């Protein structure tokens, strides 16, 4: 699905993504974890073609990524919903741009609102919603486009613990039902273990470790010992690699 | 709605009583009797005031619409593209503070004595406010919305109409409110030169003919004109910017 080769990107003088290589097969998931400022968002923007690489390449389904892909859904760090559009209008936007017929838009958006249990919010503005509700709308806005790849940038970091777990379950369910590949950027270790089939540990623009997570997708994973063991391993790995960076260890 | 009707009523009562007090206190025919003015007003509203008002409304609305179309376009371009702003900003900063009304004779020389010169001087006054408000509004749009728009696959046309315009509309309406007051004042002045219709002309003409009741009727008409224009802007705000209220 995704193939990334020697991907490098710099904002002016500061190189923030350095020689990154990895592959993600169709229907799989990848969690990218690392301290803030390590280049996670930038990497995701490169995968979304919101930024152009300075060197290296992103290939999706065998095609070199040069412009925004129709079938990539993107959920940005703080939702990116348009405050001047109602929930319903926010969801229709992507479809309208793609020239869908009106009755189709009504059908798809109606179904998505129902699936995400946000029907009664259709006529509300984003400012009237709770964090979890906004997050559902943001997911809905990406899903109406029937993406085969979903890119998410710390989508749940502003949510309380319980809501966050609910949203993680929702993403997992969608992934399993629709065979959707996804990449999730997070700084939450539990989230990386729960949602990453592969877990990529990043630091200072580089990939320092790729971990295969054999427990991914297991029912009630959160209640199992393996869940915590893998978290422990990940934590040790990140602490070891960031030795000397006290600010991160105390977080 | 109830609240706003009440406050309008309160404003009317306030103005009326101030007038009555002044009338009895100064006891001069320069302050016309409210009662006499009210009677005159109802008599001349349709035959005299309305035609004059319509001329003034026509001039203001043409100026506002042209200023909006041009000003918003220029403002969006300068707000989005720093290269354009680099050349236009100094020009705008130099021209904005000039008291354009002083150039009315020049405008009349260039654009004739009729409506055109009046409308153009109004545009010259309104447009800068619109340009500057639009430009700053565009610059203040959080870059996350642009990333969000592009991630949805929006092209430039969609970005203008679905993102930039809705985001700056509240600011533009505020700028319009400020300019409406200015426009009426300017129009009042400009309508005293070489025109025979317009509420500004009507007021000054009544004044020079020492017909104070008619002059006050004209003043009331101007006040109502302003009230009407403000209400139109309020209506547009409720219709298109209600998302702001929920924040
Ligand atoms: N638009 C930008 N212009 C310049 N530097 C940026 C920009 N966005 C991010 N950076 C810098 O790039 C680095 C990586 O940022 P980012 O990808 O947002 O990290 P993360 O998402 O892991 O927190 C940081 O040092 C940040 O300051
Ligand atoms: Mg980030």
Q: Which residue of B has its CA nearest to A74?
A: B151
E strand or H helix at A203: strand A198-203
Over 90: is that where the pLDDT of A250 sits? no
Over 70: is that where the pLDDT of A251 sits? no
> Which pTM value belongs to this model?
0.85
Domain B33-240 in CATH 3.40.50.40: no
Q: CATH number of the domain at A2-71+147-240, out of 3.30.420.40, 3.50.50.60, 3.40.50.300, 2.40.40.20? A: 3.40.50.300
- Give me the interface pTM, i.e. the ipTM: 0.86
For residue B48, the 8-state DSSP code is I
A118-175 pLDDT, tens digit each: 999 999 999 999 988 999 999 999 999 999 999 999 999 888 888 899 999 999 999 9
Over 80: is that where the pLDDT of B27 sits? yes
Average pLDDT over residues B180-188: 89
Measured CA to CA, the distance from residue A226 to residue A221 in angstroms comes to 8
pLDDT of res. A79? 86
Q: Give residues whose Cβ lies within 5 Å of ion ligand 2.
A: A 41
Measuring CA to CA, which residue among B124, B106, B128, B123 is closest to residue B193? B106
Closest listed ligand to the CA of A40: 1
pLDDT of res. B2? 54
B80-111 pLDDT, tens digit each: 999 999 999 999 999 999 988 888 899 999 99
Model confidence band, residue B35 (pLDDT cutoffs 50, 70, 90): confident
Q: Is B238 on the interface with A (CB under 8 A)?
A: no
Measuring CA to CA, which residue among B76, B98, B103 is closest to residue B88? B76
Distance A63 CA to ligand 1 centre (A): 27
Find tokens 């989508």 and name the residue. A155
Domain chopping of chain B, boundaries: 1-31, 33-240
Residue nearest to atom 21 of ligand 1 (CA): A41
CB of B176 within 8 A of CB of B230? Answer: no
Going from the C-alpha of B222 to that of each of A61, A240, B110, B125, the distances in angstroms are: 68, 76, 28, 19
If you average pLDDT over every residue of chain B, what do you get? Answer: 91
pLDDT of res. B33? 86
Q: Residue length, chain B?
A: 247
Task: Write the CB contacts of B107 (distance below 8 Å, at least 6 apart in sequence).
Answer: B117, B120, B121, B124
Cβ contact (<8 Å) for B151 and A76? yes
């Amino acid at each position: 699905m995704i193939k990334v080769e020697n991907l490098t990107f710099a904002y002016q003088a500061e190189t923030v993504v350095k020689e990154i290589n990895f592959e993600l097969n169709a229907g799989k998931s990848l969690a990218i974890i690392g301290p803030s400022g390590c280049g996670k968002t930038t990497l995701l923007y490169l995968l979304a073609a919101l930024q152009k690489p300075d060197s290296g390449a992103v290939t999706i389904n065998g095609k070199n990524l040069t412009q925004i892909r129709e079938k990539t859904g993107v959920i940005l760090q703080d939702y990116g919903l348009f405050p001047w559009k109602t929930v319903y209008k926010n969801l229709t936007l992507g479809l309208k741009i793609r020239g869908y017929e009106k009755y189709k838009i009504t059908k798809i958006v109606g179904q998505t609102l129902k699936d995400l249990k946000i029907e009664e919010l259709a006529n509300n503005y984003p400012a009237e919603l709770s964090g979890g509700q906004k997050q559902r709308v943001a997911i809905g806005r990406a899903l109406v486009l029937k993406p085969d790849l979903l890119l998410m940038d710390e989508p749940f970091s502003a949510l309380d613990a319980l809501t966050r777990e609910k949203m993680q379950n929702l993403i997992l369910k969608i992934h399993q039902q629709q065979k959707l590949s996804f990449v999730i950027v997070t700084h939450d270790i539990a989230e990386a273990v729960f949602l990453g089939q592969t877990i990529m540990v990043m630091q200072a623009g580089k990939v320092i470790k790729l971990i295969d997570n054999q427990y991914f997708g297991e029912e009630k994973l959160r209640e199992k010992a393996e869940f915590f063991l893998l978290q422990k391993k990940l934590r040790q790995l990140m602490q070891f690699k960031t030795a000397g960076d006290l600010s991160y260890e105390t977080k | 709605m109830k609240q706003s009707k009440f406050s309008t009523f309160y404003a009317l009562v306030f103005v009326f009583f101030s007038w009555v007090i002044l009338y009895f206190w100064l006891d001069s025919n320069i302050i016309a009797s409210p009662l006499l003015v009210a009677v005159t007003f109802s008599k001349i509203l349709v035959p005299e005031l309305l035609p004059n008002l319509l001329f003034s409304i026509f001039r203001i609305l043409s100026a506002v619409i042209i200023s909006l179309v041009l000003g918003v376009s220029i403002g969006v371009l300068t707000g989005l593209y720093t290269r354009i702003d680099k050349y236009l900003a100094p020009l705008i900063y130099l021209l904005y503070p000039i008291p354009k009304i002083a150039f009315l004779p020049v405008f009349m020389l260039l654009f004739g004595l009729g409506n055109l010169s009046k409308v153009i001087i109004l545009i010259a006054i309104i447009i800068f406010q619109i340009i500057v408000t639009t430009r700053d509004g565009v610059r203040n749009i959080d870059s996350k919305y642009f990333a969000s728009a592009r991630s949805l696959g929006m092209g430039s046309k969609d970005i203008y109409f679905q993102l930039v315009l809705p985001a700056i509309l509240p600011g533009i309406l505020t700028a319009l409110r400020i300019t409406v007051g200015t426009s009426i004042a300017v129009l009042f002045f400009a309508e005293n030169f070489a025109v025979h219709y317009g509420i500004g002309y009507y007021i000054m003409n009544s004044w020079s003919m020492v017909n104070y009741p008619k002059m006050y009727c004209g003043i009331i008409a101007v006040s109502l004109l302003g009230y009407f224009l403000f209400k139109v802007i309020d209506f547009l705000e409720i219709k298109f910017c209600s998302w702001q209220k929920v924040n």
